[in-house]
Structure 1
Amino acid sequence: MGRVGSCYDNAVAESFFATLKAEIGTRVWATRAEARQAVFAYLSYYNHDRLHSTLKHRTPYETRVCYRQPIALVA
């Protein structure tokens, strides 16, 4: 989530939280530990198994592992 007035960063965060609510639901868990476990299980799925169309149908984990920063040539 970005600074005030930066709608682009906020849109990504809001989209993620909407997806989270839709996929794990908005039920009330018996304990905070159960809720935390459900969120972390979803995050593991989201990062390692779920394909993202904006990442050319790869997972965020695959994208991060395969990312190589361009090397600047020094004159």
Structure 2
Amino acid sequence: MSDSLYTKIFSGSFIIVQLALDRLKGAGINAIIKDESESGRLAGFGASIQGYQELYVSNEELLEAKTIIASVQDELES
């Protein structure tokens, strides 16, 4: 069982994550981006997937954030 206060809600390329982040911010949801390739670069290590990021939101905002992410995904698929 996880005690984390945040849940990963989306992952993808830098550009798509930035679009999702912008939509979440517009709704007043503060999200966190995890970018292991950038962390590895700063530490002097290489990364297997460049530009791949993960988006996390507070568990308290999870339901609203899921709706926004679904909207972004629908928009990208159409």
Whichever structure has more strand as a proportion of its residues is 2
Coarse TM-score class (shorter-chain normalised): 0.3 to 0.5
Q: TM-score, normalised to structure 2's length?
A: 0.36
Q: Which has the larger radius of gyration?
A: 1
Higher relative contact order (CA 8 A, sep 6+): 2
